[in-house]
Structure 1
Amino acid sequence: MPALDRPRDVRPGDELDLDALSAWLGDALGVTERPVVHQYPSGFSNLTYLLDLGHREVVLRRPPHGAHVRGGHDMGREYGLLTALDGHVPVPEPLAYEPTGDVLGAPFYVMEHVPGVVLRTTAPPEARPDADAMRRVAGAFVETFARLHAVDVEAVGLADLGRPEGYVGRQVAGWERRYTAAATDVVPELERAFAWMQAHQPPESDATLVHNDFKYDNLVLDPGDLADVRAVLDWELATVGDPLMDLGSTLGYWVEATDRPALKAMALSPTWWPGNPTRAELVEAYEARTGREVEHAVFYTAYGFVKLAVIAQQIYQRWTLGTATDPRFEGLIHTVRACGETAARAIERDRISELHGG
């Protein structure tokens, strides 16, 4: 059985002003105890902390230091999404939002802490689910993904969250623009993949709620039944758009056993453990559950890998500039190259699985 997901000590440079935070918690939640703060070590984007208040635990989310990525790290937007989705899909209950940045130097919010298991690649072999359990988890993963894509966005008040028309083209152009702005090294495979995607864009398939970061380590699972998803986390990139582009983002995270080590180094989700489907099998399961035909799987997979490459590149650029000091970031350029290579191979071989075999 995997261990419960627990935080660690706060990393140097990521400390919170406890005096200011304590005063705010008193006003916002009526808390009198000074919080004991721990930090979740995984993830490469927003900073996430567990606040032990003695009688209860809550989670605080804030942007990373030195981040100036347009459209990302919007705490108010993320808090509003949780508020709208609470009761419709499994999400933590949002509790309070601080919009001004006066307390901690940036806006933040707190939500309920949902205890449970988060599957991570760092789990030792003896703590990993067996193949049968992993197959059940993968089934729950697809079921929850389909449930998310079935949310009535008008009924929950999120119809104006995004602009579905032209979504595919904007995503391709937007991620290419972000890459150009953040590039530090020449990656020819990535540039070829962007050029191919510009020339082979499919039309929008539908307009639904999309998470844009749907992967194992953003799910909290019931320790007694890993196929029971207690909560979906990290909604900062969610919008209304094409669900198959959302599937593409997930395929970029879905590393297979034969993929490059650099992809496994970036992946926080253990998708290559025994019992997991391949990328092609994941697409088939999604088609069977949703009734949507994924006709352009190579395009969506290439999109997922170039998007992951850009995210890694943006973080790596911050590391080269000295605005991000986490030592994990130093090797992300290898992930950028591996993602570009994998996207190019999917395009050249016209398939989405077993891309690094013979």
Structure 2
Amino acid sequence: MNPPGLDLDALGAWLADAVPGAGSALTAELIAGGKSNLTFVVSDGASTWIVRRPPLGHVLATAHDMGREYRVMSALQPTAVPVPRTYAFCADKDVVGAEFYVMERCAGVPYRRAAELAALGEERTRAISTTLVDTLAVLHAVDPAAVGLGDFGRPEGFLGRQVARWRKQLEASYTRDLPAADELHRRLGASVPAESAVGIVHGDYRLDNLLVDGADRATAVLDWEMATLGDPLTDLALMLTYHRLGGAVGEAVADASEAPGFLSEDEIVARYAAGSDRDLSGFGWYLGLAAYKLAAILEGIHFRYLAGQTVGPGFDRIGDVIHPLLDAGLTALKEN
């Protein structure tokens, strides 16, 4: 039986030709928890892979670029950044209805809930949260040009374009008035700071996009769909915004940072600063942008939920998350 968004006969015929040794008779399972690109575990009975494709239905043209996600992971293979091995990319939308790619299935756990970490104890939770921060600093230390990503984005004016881009994304998913979003957008646009040194920006960095093994080491950074070149401090701010929000909105947003032993916000910033030479003054603006970006992403998911186009559980409360998130963004700007 075909899972939503994946024609196994068509995929099997393509896979057998694209990946040496792969069979054409496939089984597949949608990985639960994905609220953006669809991620499947695919097997021919002998080998197992991960297949990624965009979500069904309403998709902003540049928001789910499989080619970019595949390219950045491929480029990072020889670096210290842990990424899955990439096998093949398909630009032919006729195969499964959208572009997709195939990558290694890496061992490790994407911790999401505080209860999962609490079961490990405070010492391991602290180690895992430290790994999260250190891995981000390692990514941001990579020279894009040295790994063939010098043309991966347009870093000049990156922050200003981010403000405009997420406004466009929000408008593309319009279902209701959000006056706090309008005000946050106005304030962000009026106070864009000078940018830190150019680096590779993951775009959605958080603990449940990081696989961690039993020794609390990072085995893979996942979900590179929004990766680009720009100001890496946006990654740190988005991660902290997820943490600020997670404990207040139930299961709609991961709450792993609430677990005993998890590094505090101040400890995270200090740990990152120790492993980076970036200037973190004026960081409140980045937190405001992160809140606005996350609100736009979640509003897009809410749009698809209302249209009956989401796959899997956990979407019914997404719309309620937007309001406290926007308020947090306005508060962050005052902290700047």
TM-score w.r.t. the length of structure 1 is: 0.87
C-alpha contact (below 8 Å) 1:91/1:230 kept by paired residues: yes
Measured at CA, do residues 125 and 109 of structure 1 come closer, stay the same or move farther in structure 2, by a change above 3 Å?
Answer: closer
2:196 aligned with 1:205: yes
- In 2: Cα distance, 1:213 partner to 1:243 partner: 11
2:223 to 213, 218, 234: 234
Instruction: Note the C-alpha offset of 1:291.
Output: 2.6
Bigger mean CA offset, 234-243 vs 75-84: 75-84
User: What are the within-5 Å matches in structure 2 for residues 105-120 of structure 1?
Assistant: 105-120=97-112
- In 1: Cα distance, 2:145 partner to 2:4 partner: 38
C-alpha contact (below 8 Å) 2:181/2:326 kept by paired residues: yes
Greater relative contact order (CA < 8 Å, ≥ 6 in sequence) = 2
Query: Which residue type is aligned with residue 242 of structure 1?
Result: D
2:7 aligned with 1:17: yes
Measured at CA, do residues 56 and 269 of structure 1 come closer, stay the same or move farther in structure 2, by a change above 3 Å?
Answer: farther
- In 2: Cα distance, 1:13 partner to 1:112 partner: 20
Q: What SS is found at the alignment partner of 1:136?
A: helix
C-alpha contact (below 8 Å) 2:198/2:232 kept by paired residues: yes
Instruction: Note the C-alpha offset of 1:36.
Output: 2.0
2:160 to 164, 169, 174: 169
C-alpha contact (below 8 Å) 1:217/1:269 kept by paired residues: no
- Tell me what 1:306 maps to: 292
- In 2: Cα distance, 1:156 partner to 1:174 partner: 26
C-alpha contact (below 8 Å) 1:252/1:303 kept by paired residues: no
Structure 1 gap segments, 5+ residues each: 1-9, 352-358
What is the total number of aligned residue pairs between the two structures?
Answer: 334
- Tell me what 1:337 maps to: 323
Instruction: Note the C-alpha offset of 1:331.
Output: 2.0
C-alpha contact (below 8 Å) 1:117/1:222 kept by paired residues: yes
Instruction: Note the C-alpha offset of 1:47.
Output: 0.3
User: What are the within-5 Å matches in structure 2 for residues 77-156 of structure 1?
Assistant: 77-88=68-79, 89-121=81-113, 128-156=119-147
2:49 aligned with 1:39: no
Q: What SS is found at the alignment partner of 2:146?
A: coil
Instruction: Note the C-alpha offset of 1:232.
Output: 0.7
C-alpha contact (below 8 Å) 2:28/2:42 kept by paired residues: yes
C-alpha contact (below 8 Å) 1:256/1:278 kept by paired residues: no
- In 2: Cα distance, 1:341 partner to 1:175 partner: 17
Measured at CA, do residues 131 and 25 of structure 1 come closer, stay the same or move farther in structure 2, by a change above 3 Å?
Answer: same
Q: What SS is found at the alignment partner of 2:144?
A: coil
2:272 aligned with 1:283: no
Structure 2 gap segments, 5+ residues each: none
C-alpha contact (below 8 Å) 1:119/1:269 kept by paired residues: no
Q: What SS is found at the alignment partner of 1:154?
A: helix
- Tell me what 2:208 maps to: 217
Measured at CA, do residues 116 and 192 of structure 1 come closer, stay the same or move farther in structure 2, by a change above 3 Å?
Answer: same
C-alpha contact (below 8 Å) 1:319/1:329 kept by paired residues: yes
Q: What SS is found at the alignment partner of 1:145?
A: helix
- In 2: Cα distance, 1:33 partner to 1:323 partner: 28
TM-score w.r.t. the length of structure 2 is: 0.92
Instruction: Note the C-alpha offset of 1:198.
Output: 1.5
**Which 4+ runs in 1 deviate beyond 6 A?**
none
